[in-house]
Amino acid sequence: MKLSQRGEYALRAVLVLGMNHGSGVVRIRDIAQQQNIPRRFLEQILNDLKSAGFVLSKRGVAGGYRLQRGPNEISLADIIRHLEGPLAPVGCVSVNYYQRCSCPDEGACAIRSVMQEVRDAIVGVLEGVSVAHLCDRVRDLQGPLENPLDYII
Amino acid sequence: MKLSQRGEYALRAVLVLGMNHGSGVVRIRDIAQQQNIPRRFLEQILNDLKSAGFVLSKRGVAGGYRLQRGPNEISLADIIRHLEGPLAPVGCVSVNYYQRCSCPDEGACAIRSVMQEVRDAIVGVLEGVSVAHLCDRVRDLQGPLENPLDYII
DNA sequence: ACGATACTTGACTAAACAGGTCGAGATTCT
DNA sequence: AGAATCTCGACCTGTTTAGTCAAGTATCGT
């Protein structure tokens, strides 16, 4: 039931972009430094997020990345699904990536019915949290003390 | 967020043992056949479940496996935790297998707070379902039509 | 006591995946 | 032109997954 390192980095990166939404692009290097992510690895990940349409990039001297859609239009479920595949713990309860399993009768499978609930629970949380929500949480958690330019995400 | 094949097989096997609880032991071969699980692989898994104290075995001609504790004393969470490790999607929100992550400030990490919720959701379901519950579901799902000896789990 | 039946133990393997790293190229700004 | 930045694909190493297999040990019926 694990999120891969790759997936976690992606979320952290998107969150940084969310926090900087509206103020131009952010360089890979800055994200990597701030979030403690290996730069080369992050390049790969951002590239992937780009081809999936989550972010846009700008090349050249003042280049960097920004979100393509608004932070409130991207849910964590969207991002994780794209990077990790199904959210469901087993293929036979996945809505987006359904796959039949080897059990004798799927319709009457008790394990399946439990996993269905697990899936719904996971999706319920992840679908309900957008990048914008995440940014709100950052601000809540950091409290009123900081100056606005220096978030520790 | 995946359950491994191994984990799924383990649940199916335990469920079979749950259904037969009280009526002696069940042979590996029968479980394998009924549940469509590679026999050799299942041997390994049952052995693992045995050393973890979930099941007992009996050798020899009339040998097989049975549950060690009552079906209502074993939750799915227990089983999955033993086979797959943490239920939490990231180590930094795991209660039983906590592991610090690389983010700058764990206490103020917004992603962590979401993952916390995901963890709670997953654990909530899985901790609430025992093998006995699972057996009940089997009986519910199969409906009143079958004769008692011929469950399709 | 013997043989058939089952579990037991540990080694082995092929393929996939995770988590990165690297070099060379293409763009853009100054 | 030159520096900064993203881009693209190849590459690498270690671990995990999903099994398979052989030889061993215990138990039961006869």
* pLDDT tens for each residue of B65-120: 999 999 999 999 999 999 999 999 999 999 999 999 998 888 999 999 999 999 99
Answer yes or no: CATH 1.10.10.10 is held by domain B5-145. yes
- Nearest nt to B59, CA vs C1'? C7
**What mean pLDDT is predicted for residues A114-125?**
98
Residue type, B10: A
Q: Give yes or no for CB of B29 within 7 Å of strand C.
A: yes
Degrees, nearest 5: CA angle A109-B16-B21: 130
Residue B51 has a CB neighbour count (10 Å cut-off) of 9
If you average pLDDT over every residue of chain B, what do you get? 93
**Which residues in chain A have their CB less than 8 angstroms from residue B135's CB?**
110
What sign results for the dihedral spanned by CA atoms A83, A38, A128, B114?
positive
Q: Could you report the per-residue pLDDT of A45-96, keeping only the tens digit for each?
A: 999 999 999 999 999 999 999 999 999 999 999 999 999 999 999 999 999 9
What is the predicted pLDDT for the residue at A142? 80
- From the list A90, A108, A124, the residue facing B121 with the nearest CB is A124
Burial class of residue A114 (count of CB atoms within 10 Å of its CB; 0-12, 13-18, 19+):
buried
CA–CA gap between residue A25 and residue A62 (Å, rounded): 8
Q: Which residues pair with A58 in a beta bridge?
A: A64
Question: What distances in angstroms separate CA B3 from CA A2, A76, B28, B32, one per listed residue?
Answer: 9, 20, 22, 19
A15, A56 Cβ separation under 8 angstroms: no
- The protein footprint on chain C, as nucleotides within 7 A of a CB, is 3-11, 17-22, 26-30
- From the list B89, B90, B110, the residue facing A137 with the nearest CB is B110
